[in-house]
């Protein structure tokens, strides 16, 4: 995962690599770290061979 950007007043969202929406993309986070923690929770449920794992990126929503 990329390093967290400098602190600022932005909010952050998770964006799917396929451009679709789901319950994860509907969330808004007050910090990059909070968004990163959500991704960690999502990815820890998958093992290396899971084909249905969706890739997300953290993006500023402001």
Reported as a single tens digit per residue, the pLDDT across 2-57 is 555 555 568 999 999 999 999 999 999 999 999 999 999 888 877 766 567 789 99
Q: What is the 3-state secondary structure (H, E, C) of the chain?
A: CCCCCCCCCCCEEEEECCCCCCCCCCCCECCHHHHHHHHHHHHCCCCCCCCCCCCEEEEECC
Listed by start position, the domains of the chain span 12-60
Q: What is the pTM of this model?
A: 0.74
């Amino acid at each position: 995962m990329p390093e967290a950007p400098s602190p600022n007043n932005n909010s952050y969202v998770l964006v799917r690599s396929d451009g679709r929406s789901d319950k994860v993309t509907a969330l808004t986070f007050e910090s990059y770290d909070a968004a990163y923690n959500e991704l960690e929770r999502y990815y820890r449920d998958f093992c290396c061979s899971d084909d249905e794992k969706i890739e997300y990126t953290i993006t500023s929503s402001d």
